[in-house]
Amino acid sequence: MGKSIYDQFEHAAKAYPDSLAARFENKSWTFKALEKEIDICSRKLLSLGIKERDVVAVAMPNCPEALFLFYAISKIGAISYNIHPLTPAPMMKKHIEKSGAKILICLANACYEHRMVLDSDVKIVSVNPYLKINWLKAAVLYKISKKAHGIISYAGIHPSKQGKTVHPDPDDDAVYLNTGGTNGEPKIVRLSSRSINNLALKGYPLFGGRLKDIMMLTAIPLFHGFGLAMGIHTPISWGASTVLVLKFNTKEAIRFIRKGQASVIIGVPALYNALLSRDTFYGPWLRKQIVAFIGGDSVPQSLLDQWNTAMSRFGSTARLFEGYGLTETVNVTNVNTYGRDRRGTIGKPLPNLHEVIIDPETCKVLPNGTSGEICIGGDCLMNGYLHDDELTKKSFIEIDGRKYFRTRDFGYKDDDGYLTFRQRLRRVVKINGETVCPSDVEDVALDLFDVYEAYCFPVEDQRKGHVLCLAVVEREGPKGMRKKEEVEADIYAAIGKNLPPLCRPAKIVFLDKLPRTPVGKIDAAEFAKIQERLHI
pLDDT-based confidence at residue 83 (cuts at 50, 70, 90): very high
The alpha helices in 217-341, defined as continuous H runs, are 225, 234-238, 250-258, 269-276, 301-313
pLDDT at position 427 is 65
Would you say 235 and 222 are in contact if contact means Cβ atoms under 8 Å apart?
A: no
pLDDT at position 458 is 86
pLDDT at position 425 is 60
pLDDT digits (tens, 9 = 90+) for 404-449: 999 989 899 999 999 998 766 666 676 866 667 788 898 899 889 8
402 pLDDT above the threshold of 90: yes
Return d(Cα 51, Cα 78) in angstroms, integer. 6
Would you say 261 and 36 are in contact if contact means Cβ atoms under 8 Å apart?
A: no
Mean pLDDT of 361-372: 95
Return d(Cα 141, Cα 265) in angstroms, integer. 28
3-state helix, strand and coil shares in percent for the chain, rounded to the nearest 5 = 35, 25, 35
Return d(Cα 303, Cα 320) in angstroms, integer. 9
pLDDT at position 220 is 84
235 pLDDT above the threshold of 90: yes
pLDDT-based confidence at residue 181 (cuts at 50, 70, 90): very low
pLDDT at position 422 is 77
Return d(Cα 300, Cα 305) in angstroms, integer. 9
Return d(Cα 181, Cα 462) in angstroms, integer. 29
- How many residues make up the chain in this entry? 536
Number of H helices, E strands in the chain: 16, 27
Instruction: For 412, list phi and psi in degrees, rounded to 5.
Output: -150, 160
What share of the chain in percent tops pLDDT 70? 93
pLDDT at position 531 is 77
pLDDT digits (tens, 9 = 90+) for 19-50: 999 999 999 999 999 999 999 999 999 999 99
Start-to-end Cα distance in the chain: 54
Mean pLDDT of 201-218: 88
Return d(Cα 63, Cα 224) in angstroms, integer. 14
Q: Is 215 helix (H, G, I), strand (E, B) or coil?
A: strand
C-alpha distances in Å from residue 392, one per residue of 112, 194, 329, 382:
35, 19, 13, 10
What share of the chain in percent tops pLDDT 90? 70
Structural domains of the chain, ranges and CATH numbers in brackets: 5-14+27-192 (3.40.50.980), 328-427 (2.30.38.10), 432-533 (3.30.300.30)
Secondary structure (DSSP) of 443-501: HHHHTSTTEEEEEEEEEEETTTEEEEEEEEEEPPSGGG-S-HHHHHHHHHHHHHHHS-G
Return d(Cα 336, Cα 225) in angstroms, integer. 19
Secondary structure (DSSP) of 132-152: TT-HHHHHHHHHHPPP-TTEE
pLDDT at position 184 is 46
Contacts of 199 (CB under 8 A, 6+ apart): 229, 230, 233, 234, 330, 331, 332, 350, 380
Model-level pTM?
A: 0.83
127 pLDDT above the threshold of 70: yes
Return d(Cα 333, Cα 355) in angstroms, integer. 9
Would you say 402 and 305 are in contact if contact means Cβ atoms under 8 Å apart?
A: no
514 CB neighbour count, 10 Å cutoff: 19
Angle between helices 5-15 and 31-47 (to 10 degrees): 150
pLDDT-based confidence at residue 191 (cuts at 50, 70, 90): very high
More confident residue, 180 or 262: 262
- Residue 399 buriedness (CB in 10 A; 0-12 / 13-18 / 19+): middle
236 pLDDT above the threshold of 90: yes
pLDDT digits (tens, 9 = 90+) for 476-511: 765 546 889 999 999 999 998 888 788 899 999 999
pLDDT at position 295 is 82
pLDDT at position 299 is 80
Q: What is the mean pLDDT of the chain?
A: 91
199 pLDDT above the threshold of 60: yes
Return d(Cα 221, Cα 377) in angstroms, integer. 26
For residue 428, the 8-state DSSP code is -
pLDDT at position 215 is 96
Return d(Cα 395, Cα 404) in angstroms, integer. 8
Q: Which helix (H) or strand (E) holds 357?
A: strand 353-358
Picking from 131, 140, 82, the residue whose alpha carbon sits closest to that of residue 109 is 140
pLDDT digits (tens, 9 = 90+) for 255-299: 999 999 999 999 888 789 899 999 999 999 999 999 999 986 668
